[in-house]
Amino acid sequence: MSQSAEQPHAAHCADDLAAETVRWLRHLASERRLSPKTQDAYGRDLRQFLAFLTAHHGAPPSLKRFAALEIADVRAFMAARRAAGVEGRSLMRALAGLRSFGRFLEREGKGKLGALAAVRAPKIRKSLPKPIAPAPAKQLTAPELRAGEDRDPWIWTRDAAVMALLYGSGLRISEALGLRRHDVPAPGEGDVIVVTGKGNKTRMVPVLRNVLALIADYVAQCPHMLPPDGPLFVGARGGPLSPRIIQLTMERLRGALGLPDSATPHALRHSFATHLLSRGGDLRAIQELLGHASLSTTQVYTGIDAERLLSVYDSAHPRA
């Protein structure tokens, strides 16, 4: 669990409630196995809610007072956050975190938190992912795009390998940069890697031969030691590679290719899914490859494919 998640909320609640928040956050880390980012977000949302209740009622809430929450209290908090410019998706996450805390207290016999369950989740505007077209997605690893750069050749070889892995296997950037040296086979020794995704869940993902070749080129050129149990991708000084470095590389490349700002490293994951679907890929198989817990998360790509089909229809059909 992250250090910030361990901090009690004593400034905005009584000691008995502060102790329960710490126990809940530990539960999220050890039993629910939520990612550190989700733990931090849930903890931050709860701190904000407790601070709001302190101001709303004129005193820090105790465990007994918290267990007596009313629907009006929750709605007032959500309204205040929306007035502060917080968008629907963040409000939905905040409500999900508060409900998780409420369920934890109920399981522990610390009261009924029906008010949290009774409040309707805010509506959020659905936005489709913005994939990169196949041609520029393939060009991201082209050596000629990096001509004239004053960085060491091994660094842009590394970046090309990361980009190829994101697009070729549909990995999240955190998954790619979390790979250990022994996780990736050498060319000719295998074509599958085991990836650790959200919630420490593992899945098997195929890797294209040309992607393995790019990774092998990077390993051969890297001037730093890459022990089997150490990170595969390292920074200029040999430490773990920061996602920000890949994001900056993507900014340079999309400028060279004339791509929009939506062309981010994560857009390569969207491109992987969309291009598989457009070529007849099975939605269930794509769900497994992406590591989505729910098929509904993967189904967003069917909307992209439908848009593409409608676009072709509108441009080509004589009666369109």
Task: Evaluate if residue 4 carries a pLDDT over 50.
Answer: no
What pLDDT score does 248 carry?
92
Residues serving a catalytic function are 172, 198, 266, 269, 292, 301
Does this model's pTM top 0.85?
A: no
Quote helix, strand, coil % in the chain, to nearest 5. 60, 5, 35
Candidates 109, 55, 108, 110; CA nearest to 77 is 55
- Kindly state the DSSP code that residue 206 receives in the 8-state scheme: E
Task: Evaluate if residue 237 carries a pLDDT over 90.
Answer: yes
The rounded distance, in Å, linking the Cα atoms of 238 and 252 is 23
Residue 187 token pair: 């060319």
Task: Evaluate if residue 117 carries a pLDDT over 90.
Answer: no
- Kindly state the DSSP code that residue 231 receives in the 8-state scheme: B
Average pLDDT, rounded, for the chain: 86
**Residue 98 vs residue 86, higher pLDDT:** 98
Helix (H) or strand (E) holding 41: helix 36-57
- % of the chain with per-residue pLDDT over 70: 89
- % of the chain with per-residue pLDDT over 90: 43
Ranked by mean pLDDT, which of 33-37, 50-54, 314-318 comes out on top?
50-54
What pLDDT score does 263 carry?
92
Close Cβ partners of 191 (under 8 Å, ≥ 6 residues apart)? 185, 206, 207, 208, 209, 212
The rounded distance, in Å, linking the Cα atoms of 251 and 264 is 8
Q: What SS3 class is residue 228?
A: coil
Task: Evaluate if residue 93 carries a pLDDT over 70.
Answer: yes
Residue 1 token pair: 């669990």
Distance set, CA 198 to CA 102, 156, 203, 293 (Å): 23, 28, 11, 9
The DSSP annotation for 269-320 comes to HHHHHHHHHHTT--HHHHHHHHT-SSHHHHTHHHHHHHHHHHHHHHHH-TT-
Q: What is the mean pLDDT of residues 193-218?
A: 91
Task: Evaluate if residue 247 carries a pLDDT over 90.
Answer: yes
Candidates 17, 86, 92, 96; CA nearest to 51 is 17
What architecture does CATH give domain 134-316? Orthogonal Bundle (1.10)
The rounded distance, in Å, linking the Cα atoms of 20 and 1 is 16
Q: Sorting pLDDT into bands at 50, 70 and 90, what band is 124?
A: low
**Residue 143 vs residue 137, higher pLDDT:** 137
Q: What is the mean pLDDT of residues 289-297?
A: 85
Q: What is the mean pLDDT of residues 224-231?
A: 96
Q: For the chain, which residues make up each domain, given as ranges?
A: 3-118, 134-316
Q: What is the mean pLDDT of residues 77-87?
A: 88
* Size of the chain in residues: 320
Q: Are strands 192-196 and 202-206 parallel, antiparallel or unpaired?
A: antiparallel
What pLDDT score does 121 carry?
75
Q: What is the mean pLDDT of residues 244-254?
A: 91
Candidates 227, 253, 296, 282; CA nearest to 167 is 253
Task: Evaluate if residue 274 carries a pLDDT over 50.
Answer: yes
What pLDDT score does 110 carry?
87
Task: Evaluate if residue 135 carries a pLDDT over 60.
Answer: yes
Task: Evaluate if residue 179 carries a pLDDT over 90.
Answer: yes
Q: What is the mean pLDDT of residues 191-200?
A: 88
